[in-house]
Homo-oligomer: A and B are copies of this chain.
Amino acid sequence: MPSQNQKHAACNWCTFSPFCIKNEDGPLLVKQENLVVKQRHYLKRKEVLCFPKTKFRNLYAIQQGAIKTFHIDASGNELIRGFYFSGEILGYEAIYTGRYLFSAVALSETIVCEIPYENFVNLLHSRPELQNRILYLMSQQLSAGFYLASATAEQRLCAFLLDLSTRLSTSGILQEFLFPMSRQDIGNYLMLTPETISRILSKLQKNKLIELDQKKIHFLRRKKIKEIADGL
Protein backbone atom coordinates (compact mmCIF):
# COMPACT_ATOMS: atom_id res chain seq x y z
CA MET A 1 0.00 0.00 0.00
CA PRO A 2 1.38 3.43 -0.93
CA SER A 3 2.67 5.49 1.92
CA GLN A 4 0.15 7.93 3.32
CA ASN A 5 2.55 10.72 4.05
CA GLN A 6 3.05 11.85 0.49
CA LYS A 7 0.92 14.95 1.03
CA HIS A 8 -1.00 13.95 -2.09
CA ALA A 9 1.08 15.93 -4.51
CA ALA A 10 -1.02 14.37 -7.26
CA CYS A 11 -3.88 16.68 -6.29
CA ASN A 12 -1.90 19.55 -7.74
CA TRP A 13 -2.37 18.32 -11.28
CA CYS A 14 -5.67 16.56 -10.83
CA THR A 15 -8.12 17.83 -13.44
CA PHE A 16 -10.78 17.69 -10.79
CA SER A 17 -9.00 19.88 -8.26
CA PRO A 18 -11.15 22.96 -8.92
CA PHE A 19 -13.95 20.93 -7.35
CA CYS A 20 -11.93 19.85 -4.40
CA ILE A 21 -10.45 21.47 -1.33
CA LYS A 22 -7.03 19.97 -0.83
CA ASN A 23 -6.13 18.48 2.50
CA GLU A 24 -2.59 17.47 3.05
CA ASP A 25 -3.16 14.87 5.71
CA GLY A 26 -5.45 12.87 3.49
CA PRO A 27 -7.91 11.26 5.88
CA LEU A 28 -10.01 8.58 4.27
CA LEU A 29 -13.15 10.63 4.51
CA VAL A 30 -13.16 14.28 3.53
CA LYS A 31 -16.22 16.40 3.96
CA GLN A 32 -16.28 19.88 2.55
CA GLU A 33 -19.24 22.22 2.76
CA ASN A 34 -21.51 19.19 2.59
CA LEU A 35 -21.03 19.37 -1.14
CA VAL A 36 -18.39 17.07 -2.50
CA VAL A 37 -17.62 14.22 -0.19
CA LYS A 38 -14.54 12.36 -1.12
CA GLN A 39 -13.63 8.99 0.18
CA ARG A 40 -10.20 7.70 -0.71
CA HIS A 41 -9.89 4.08 -1.77
CA TYR A 42 -6.62 2.21 -1.76
CA LEU A 43 -6.70 -0.48 -4.43
CA LYS A 44 -4.28 -3.36 -4.90
CA ARG A 45 -3.24 -4.59 -8.33
CA LYS A 46 -6.19 -6.29 -10.09
CA GLU A 47 -8.63 -5.02 -7.50
CA VAL A 48 -11.98 -4.02 -8.99
CA LEU A 49 -13.31 -0.47 -8.67
CA CYS A 50 -16.68 -1.01 -10.30
CA PHE A 51 -18.66 -3.60 -12.24
CA PRO A 52 -20.72 -3.12 -15.39
CA LYS A 53 -24.50 -2.76 -14.94
CA THR A 54 -24.21 -1.82 -11.28
CA LYS A 55 -25.88 1.43 -10.32
CA PHE A 56 -23.88 4.56 -11.05
CA ARG A 57 -23.23 6.55 -7.88
CA ASN A 58 -19.72 7.95 -8.05
CA LEU A 59 -17.20 9.53 -10.33
CA TYR A 60 -13.63 8.57 -9.49
CA ALA A 61 -10.52 10.75 -9.64
CA ILE A 62 -7.30 8.75 -9.91
CA GLN A 63 -4.88 10.19 -7.41
CA GLN A 64 -2.07 7.75 -7.88
CA GLY A 65 -1.68 4.63 -9.99
CA ALA A 66 -3.53 3.42 -13.06
CA ILE A 67 -6.92 1.97 -13.92
CA LYS A 68 -8.19 0.16 -17.02
CA THR A 69 -11.84 -0.03 -18.03
CA PHE A 70 -13.10 -2.88 -20.19
CA HIS A 71 -15.97 -5.18 -20.89
CA ILE A 72 -16.16 -8.78 -21.97
CA ASP A 73 -17.88 -9.39 -25.29
CA ALA A 74 -20.09 -12.34 -26.26
CA SER A 75 -17.04 -14.32 -27.40
CA GLY A 76 -15.30 -13.80 -24.09
CA ASN A 77 -12.75 -11.30 -25.34
CA GLU A 78 -11.75 -8.45 -23.06
CA LEU A 79 -12.33 -5.19 -24.93
CA ILE A 80 -10.43 -2.36 -23.27
CA ARG A 81 -12.21 0.98 -23.38
CA GLY A 82 -9.59 3.17 -21.81
CA PHE A 83 -6.79 3.76 -19.35
CA TYR A 84 -6.89 6.31 -16.54
CA PHE A 85 -3.84 7.74 -14.79
CA SER A 86 -3.00 10.25 -12.05
CA GLY A 87 -5.25 13.27 -12.19
CA GLU A 88 -7.77 11.79 -14.61
CA ILE A 89 -11.50 11.24 -14.02
CA LEU A 90 -13.41 8.06 -14.63
CA GLY A 91 -17.14 7.53 -14.84
CA TYR A 92 -18.65 10.18 -17.10
CA GLU A 93 -19.97 7.57 -19.52
CA ALA A 94 -22.22 6.18 -16.80
CA ILE A 95 -24.16 9.42 -16.31
CA TYR A 96 -26.12 8.64 -19.45
CA THR A 97 -27.41 5.21 -18.52
CA GLY A 98 -27.30 5.54 -14.75
CA ARG A 99 -25.27 2.35 -14.64
CA TYR A 100 -21.60 1.68 -15.11
CA LEU A 101 -20.96 0.37 -18.59
CA PHE A 102 -17.60 -1.22 -17.89
CA SER A 103 -15.47 -2.97 -15.36
CA ALA A 104 -12.69 -0.86 -13.90
CA VAL A 105 -9.69 -2.52 -12.28
CA ALA A 106 -6.40 -1.25 -10.90
CA LEU A 107 -3.27 -2.01 -12.94
CA SER A 108 -1.04 -1.39 -9.94
CA GLU A 109 -1.47 -0.10 -6.42
CA THR A 110 -3.83 2.80 -6.91
CA ILE A 111 -5.50 5.52 -4.90
CA VAL A 112 -8.80 6.91 -6.12
CA CYS A 113 -10.98 9.71 -4.77
CA GLU A 114 -14.64 8.79 -4.76
CA ILE A 115 -16.93 11.62 -5.83
CA PRO A 116 -20.63 10.95 -5.22
CA TYR A 117 -22.38 12.13 -8.36
CA GLU A 118 -25.29 13.60 -6.43
CA ASN A 119 -22.98 15.80 -4.41
CA PHE A 120 -21.11 16.72 -7.54
CA VAL A 121 -24.33 17.90 -9.18
CA ASN A 122 -25.31 19.86 -6.08
CA LEU A 123 -21.95 21.58 -6.10
CA LEU A 124 -22.39 22.47 -9.76
CA HIS A 125 -25.78 23.98 -8.99
CA SER A 126 -24.49 26.10 -6.18
CA ARG A 127 -21.31 27.17 -7.91
CA PRO A 128 -22.10 27.70 -11.59
CA GLU A 129 -18.60 28.98 -12.28
CA LEU A 130 -17.51 25.34 -12.12
CA GLN A 131 -19.74 24.48 -15.06
CA ASN A 132 -17.26 25.65 -17.64
CA ARG A 133 -14.67 23.47 -16.04
CA ILE A 134 -16.76 20.34 -16.22
CA LEU A 135 -17.79 21.05 -19.80
CA TYR A 136 -14.10 21.37 -20.55
CA LEU A 137 -13.28 18.08 -18.83
CA MET A 138 -15.99 16.10 -20.54
CA SER A 139 -15.19 17.66 -23.90
CA GLN A 140 -11.61 16.54 -23.42
CA GLN A 141 -12.67 12.93 -23.09
CA LEU A 142 -14.67 13.09 -26.30
CA SER A 143 -11.49 13.39 -28.33
CA ALA A 144 -9.48 10.84 -26.36
CA GLY A 145 -8.00 7.92 -28.25
CA PHE A 146 -8.57 9.46 -31.67
CA TYR A 147 -5.60 7.49 -32.98
CA LEU A 148 -7.49 4.22 -32.60
CA ALA A 149 -8.82 4.97 -36.08
CA SER A 150 -5.34 4.92 -37.64
CA ALA A 151 -4.89 2.31 -40.33
CA THR A 152 -1.82 0.25 -39.40
CA ALA A 153 -0.72 -1.45 -36.20
CA GLU A 154 2.54 0.53 -36.20
CA GLN A 155 0.70 3.85 -36.49
CA ARG A 156 -1.67 3.06 -33.62
CA LEU A 157 1.09 1.80 -31.32
CA CYS A 158 3.36 4.80 -31.95
CA ALA A 159 0.46 7.19 -31.32
CA PHE A 160 -0.33 5.28 -28.13
CA LEU A 161 3.28 5.54 -26.93
CA LEU A 162 3.25 9.30 -27.44
CA ASP A 163 -0.12 9.57 -25.70
CA LEU A 164 1.19 7.61 -22.71
CA SER A 165 4.34 9.68 -22.50
CA THR A 166 2.37 12.91 -22.07
CA ARG A 167 -0.29 11.51 -19.74
CA LEU A 168 2.13 9.73 -17.43
CA SER A 169 4.21 12.83 -17.01
CA THR A 170 3.09 15.25 -14.36
CA SER A 171 4.64 18.19 -16.14
CA GLY A 172 5.50 18.30 -19.78
CA ILE A 173 6.68 15.31 -21.78
CA LEU A 174 8.67 12.31 -20.68
CA GLN A 175 11.35 10.66 -22.83
CA GLU A 176 11.22 7.68 -20.53
CA PHE A 177 8.48 5.92 -18.59
CA LEU A 178 7.24 2.57 -17.32
CA PHE A 179 4.34 0.82 -18.99
CA PRO A 180 1.60 0.59 -16.36
CA MET A 181 -0.17 -2.18 -18.32
CA SER A 182 0.69 -5.49 -19.96
CA ARG A 183 1.31 -6.08 -23.67
CA GLN A 184 -1.99 -7.90 -23.67
CA ASP A 185 -3.78 -4.79 -22.39
CA ILE A 186 -2.06 -2.59 -24.95
CA GLY A 187 -3.05 -5.02 -27.66
CA ASN A 188 -6.67 -5.20 -26.56
CA TYR A 189 -6.89 -1.42 -26.46
CA LEU A 190 -5.34 -0.99 -29.93
CA MET A 191 -7.26 -3.93 -31.42
CA LEU A 192 -4.07 -5.94 -31.83
CA THR A 193 -2.60 -9.11 -30.32
CA PRO A 194 0.16 -9.02 -27.71
CA GLU A 195 2.41 -10.76 -30.24
CA THR A 196 1.95 -7.89 -32.67
CA ILE A 197 2.74 -5.34 -29.92
CA SER A 198 5.86 -7.26 -29.02
CA ARG A 199 7.01 -7.55 -32.63
CA ILE A 200 6.52 -3.84 -33.36
CA LEU A 201 8.29 -2.78 -30.15
CA SER A 202 11.20 -5.06 -31.09
CA LYS A 203 11.28 -3.56 -34.56
CA LEU A 204 11.26 0.01 -33.19
CA GLN A 205 14.16 -0.97 -30.92
CA LYS A 206 16.09 -2.59 -33.77
CA ASN A 207 15.63 0.65 -35.75
CA LYS A 208 17.01 2.65 -32.78
CA LEU A 209 13.82 4.68 -32.28
CA ILE A 210 13.32 3.44 -28.74
CA GLU A 211 15.18 1.53 -26.04
CA LEU A 212 13.34 -1.17 -24.16
CA ASP A 213 14.05 -2.81 -20.85
CA GLN A 214 11.04 -4.84 -19.79
CA LYS A 215 8.42 -2.34 -18.70
CA LYS A 216 10.74 0.62 -19.22
CA ILE A 217 10.69 2.47 -22.52
CA HIS A 218 13.00 5.29 -23.58
CA PHE A 219 12.40 7.44 -26.66
CA LEU A 220 15.53 7.86 -28.77
CA ARG A 221 13.94 9.57 -31.74
CA ARG A 222 10.58 10.95 -30.66
CA LYS A 223 10.15 12.96 -33.83
CA LYS A 224 10.47 9.87 -35.99
CA ILE A 225 7.90 8.08 -33.82
CA LYS A 226 5.55 10.99 -34.30
CA GLU A 227 6.00 10.70 -38.06
CA ILE A 228 5.09 7.02 -38.00
CA ALA A 229 2.04 7.79 -35.84
CA ASP A 230 0.94 10.42 -38.36
CA GLY A 231 1.33 8.02 -41.26
CA LEU A 232 4.65 9.32 -42.61
State the A residues within 8 Å of B (CB).
73-75, 77, 79, 81, 92-97, 101, 121, 124-125, 128, 131-132, 134-136, 138-143, 146, 148-151, 191, 230-232
A125 touches B131 (CB 8 A): yes
A149 touches B148 (CB 8 A): yes
A81 to chain B, nearest CB (A): 8
Of the residues B93, B121, B125, B146, contact of A139 by C-beta under 8 Å: B93
A142 CA to B128 CA in the complex, in Å? 23
A218 CA to B95 CA in the complex, in Å? 33
List chain B residues, Cβ under 8 A from A139: 92-96, 138
List chain B residues, Cβ under 8 A from A97: 143
Q: Are A96 and B143 CB-contacts (below 8 A) given A75-B231, A151-B191?
A: yes
Q: List 20 A-B contacts (CB under 8 A).
A: A73-B231, A77-B231, A79-B149, A81-B146, A81-B149, A92-B138, A92-B139, A92-B142, A93-B142, A95-B135, A96-B136, A96-B140, A96-B142, A96-B143, A101-B143, A121-B132, A138-B142, A141-B142, A142-B142, A149-B191
List chain B residues, Cβ under 8 A from A230: 73-74
A191 to chain B, nearest CB (A): 6
A81 CA to B150 CA in the complex, in Å? 11
**By DSSP majority rule, is chain A's interface helix, strand, loop, or mixed?**
helix
B231 touches A74 (CB 8 A): yes
- Look across to chain B and name the residue whose beta carbon is closest to the beta carbon of A94: B139
Residue among A79, A135, A150 having the largest count of chain B Cβ atoms under 10 Å = A135
Q: Are A131 and B142 CB-contacts (below 8 A) given A74-B232, A77-B151, A77-B231?
A: no
- Look across to chain B and name the residue whose beta carbon is closest to the beta carbon of A91: B139
A73-B231, A74-B231, A124-B128 known; 11 other A-B pairs, CB under 8 Å? Answer: A74-B230, A75-B232, A77-B231, A79-B149, A92-B139, A92-B142, A95-B135, A95-B139, A121-B131, A138-B142, A148-B149
